[in-house]
Structure 1
Amino acid sequence: MLRTLSARHDRFALNAPFRISRGVKTAADVVTVTVAGAGHVGRGEGVPYPRYGETVEAALAAIEQARALIERGGSRADLAGAMPAGAARNAVDNALWDWEARAAGTSVSDRAGLPAVAPVASAITVAIDHPDAMAAVAARHADAPLLKVKVAREDALRQIAAVRAAAPTPRLIVDPNESWTIEEVRGWQDELIAQRVDLLEQPLPAGEDGALAALETSLAICADESLHTAADLGALRGRYTHVNIKLDKTGGLTEALSLAEAASAMGFGLMVGCMVCSSLGIAPALLLAQRAQFVDLDGPLWLAADRDGGAIDDHGILQPPRRGFWGEAA
């Protein structure tokens, strides 16, 4: 069956600066892929991430190299053999899922044997700022089920305490984005427990997280930057209790599904996350979110304007995109 593939760079301005330990961004730069054929159109989105050596230009070039494969009918399995895991493959893989479901007159959830997407409690992110400013953000979302606090090394405990004081009831994820040392994790763990932190996400740099194996703690600790695909899971045993599955790391929903199965079988708890992206970026991840213990898919909520029909936040409950947005016919 003849198909066409196209890819472009889209930029979405943010409604506020998004600050994490390694920098600040004011716009989301994404790659949008469209697969068309037999009267149906499938879409996918990827977010090239500089932390992993990715750029928009390189992603578009990689997609162009795979275009002939897809246009002559190549499968998602063929794609996985032709492109490495990452944002470029993510955009193409998810566009293929969308196209396949529409062409078959069914939904991606049915094709994957998964429950239909339903609203989920998704973290509201409190970005790095002065503790008082972070407390003000947390207070506005104090009725949400889950908050995620971005911190660095400086002022981390004050920032966490300020957020917890302003929002006493939500579950709390703390995310240093690789900026801590093992000495800081060891020295701060009692305070994190006292502040009722439910999950500490990737406190150490990915190349230094072997030190977590010797850490005696009751904290739940989640791998993010240390995990990309199922091949990484073996090295994470004894270091982490949970793993954060992001489709931009796995290279699409296809590998993410395999990763989730393998992680669960190995006893890891599941978190599903995203980059700062549009609702097209989180639509496939919402399928995995139905089984995750922690969900962090608020990327589109940072946009000044999302794609039409995108997801909507309702006091920390993420309402899925409207029917027909991705993965099913309208």
Structure 2
Amino acid sequence: MPKLSVAVERFPIAGTFAISRGVKTEAVVIVATLEGEGARGRGECVPYARYGESVERALADVETARAALEAGAGRDALQALLAPGAARNALDCALWDFEAKRSGRRVHEIAGLPAPRAVSTAFTLSVGTPEDMATAARRAAARPLLKVKLAGEGDEARLAAVRAAAPAATLIVDANEAWAPHDLERRLEACARAGVALVEQPLPAGRDEALARIARPVPVCADESVHARAGLAALRERYDAVNLKLDKTGGLTEMLACARDARALGFDLFVGCMVASSLAMAPALLVAGEARYVDLDGPLLLARDRPEGLVYEGSQILPAPPALWG
């Protein structure tokens, strides 16, 4: 039977990462490792305060599943042991990796999926002054897809500055719940004028019903409003796409099921991430090949990644090497 070990690791961010809720200078992650029978499987998660998570709470949640996992419980049992969230994600991805290492097969084979292929990721621009965002956009202007963090007041000027600095890039914007219903249509029209391809989570989760009452000139994607399959159907009239993240779904097992159900409901897929190392990105690459948009740039935002991390060729992410995961 496998033995479980858990570690908290810290990765400095290159500069800062700023969204409407605040600024980060490091990524704090939890790594779960299962070892036994000559194999070792790992999974990485990022507890997120917006969802009521903390490192301490996630570690405690992991401990509630320890005995079952060390007695041989698998992925299906884990879904019942823990709710969707960061702790379950680390354990679920560790179970997938452990099975792959123990069996000598890749995770995509075990899951009955096509082999992962190289995909193109968005590159995120932190929110700031229009001048600062324009400077960042000029540095990244050669990248095909830029994700622009917005914050409400002053967003039109920020967006105009980014568009002028990166005229050839496709832009998606992420308001992180910072807009209000009374200015929703005005802000969406500004996005349409700037040629924005997608707007992510403009209104607060649970207070986004206005999206169903307006003509949306730009497709809108749910992020904070959706975590796992249970919430999908209720959002169909409000959103055109859903952002699937391992830390929200609670691992690859639920992410695969959520992607299947989202496609059946007619949503476009967006595969996203928290700011974390390559170990946290690797499982999401199994779904990224099916997504309209991919935002797995977490390692690109770090001052350093894992030595066995993913290979990024510009904005292209190559499939994960077995030494990393899967």
TM-score by length of 2: 0.98
Distance 2:185 2:273 in 1: 28
Q: What are the within-5 Å matches in structure 2 for residues 149-228 of structure 1?
A: 149-228=148-227
Q: Equivalent residue for 1:284? A: 283
Alignment of 1:126-141 (within 5 A): 126-141=125-140
Give the equivalent residue in structure 1 for 2:306. 307
| CA shift for structure 1 position 191 | 1.8
Cα distance in 1 between the residues matched to 2:305 and 2:111: 27
Residue 292 of structure 1 and its aligned partner are, at CA, apart by 0.2
Aligned residue number for residue 265 of structure 2: 266
Equivalent residue, structure 2, for 1:322: 321
The DSSP-based 3-state class of the residue aligned with 1:178 is: coil
Question: Could you give the per-residue CA deviations for residues 252-288 of structure 1, whole angstroms, max 9, x where no partner exists?
Answer: 0000000000000000000000001110001000111
User: Are the equivalent residues in 1 in contact too, given 2:61–2:87 (CA < 8 A)?
Assistant: yes
Contact 2:189 2:217 in 1 (8 A): no
Residues 1-330 of structure 1: matches in 2 within 5 Å? Answer: 2-327=1-326
One-letter amino acid of the structure 2 residue matched with residue 37 of structure 1:
G
TM superposition shift of 1:169: 1.5
Instruction: Kindly indicate whether the alpha-carbon contact (under 8 Å) linking 1:150 and 1:176 is maintained by their aligned counterparts in 2.
Output: yes
Moved more, 137-146 or 27-36: 137-146
Shift of 1:21: 0.1
Q: Offset at 1:218?
A: 2.6
**CA–CA distance in structure 2, aligned partners of residues 184 and 210 of structure 1:** 14
Find the aligned partners of 1:161 and 1:313 in 2 and give their Cα distance: 29
Preserved CA contact (<8 Å) 2:100 2:106:
yes
Cα deviation 1:18-43 (Å, max 9, x = unaligned)? 00000001010111000011100000
- Per the alignment, in what secondary structure is the counterpart of residue 210 of structure 2? helix
Deviation at 1:54, TM superposition (A): 0.3
CA contact (8 A) 1:5 1:67 kept: yes
Q: CA deviation at 1:188?
A: 2.1
Q: Counterparts of 1:164 and 1:63 in 2: how far apart (Å)?
A: 44
How many Å separate the matches in 2 of 1:259 and 1:322?
A: 25
Query: CA offset at residue 208 of structure 1?
Result: 0.5
State the AA in 1 paired with 2:57. Answer: A
Q: Please say if residues 144 and 317 of structure 1, whose CA atoms lie closer than 8 Å, have aligned partners that are also in contact.
A: no
Q: Distance in 2 between matches of 1:279 and 1:148?
A: 19
Q: CA RMSD in A?
A: 1.0
Shift in Å at residue 129 of structure 1?
1.3
Q: 1:243, 1:58 → 2: CA distance?
A: 27
Separation in structure 2 between the aligned mates of residue 255 and residue 279 of structure 1, nearest angstrom: 20
**Aligned-pair distance for 1:313?**
3.0
Q: Which runs of 5+ in 2 are unaligned?
A: none
Residues in 2 aligned to 1:102 and 1:322: alpha-carbon distance in whole angstroms: 12
* Partner Cα separation in structure 2 for residue 58 and residue 8 of structure 1: 14
CA distance, structure 1, for counterparts of residue 149 and residue 238 of structure 2: 21
Does the CA contact (< 8 Å) of 1:141 and 1:315 recur in 2?
A: no
Name the stretch that deviates more: 181-190 or 148-157.
181-190
Q: Which runs of 5+ in 1 are unaligned?
A: none
Distance of 1:221 and 1:228 partners within structure 2: 16
Question: How many angstroms apart in 2 are the aligned matches of 1:44 and 1:94?
Answer: 5
Alpha-carbon shift at residue 239 of structure 1 (Å)? 0.1
SS at match of 2:207: helix
> What code does the residue aligned with 2:15 have?
A
Secondary structure (helix, strand or coil) at the match of 1:270 reads: strand
What is the CA–CA distance in structure 1 between the aligned matches of 2:291 and 2:249, rounded to whole Å? 16
Query: Within 2, Cα distance between the matches of 1:323 and 1:74?
Result: 24
Letter in 2 for 1:32: V
SS of the aligned residue for 1:284 comes to: helix
- Output the CA distance in 1 between the equivalents of 2:114 and 2:323: 16
TM-score by length of 1: 0.97
Displacement after TM superposition at 1:116 (Å): 1.6
Matched letter for residue 138 of structure 1: A
Distance apart, 1:321 and its partner CA? 3.7
**3-state DSSP class of the match of 2:294?**
strand
1 CA distance for matches of 2:111 and 2:183? 42
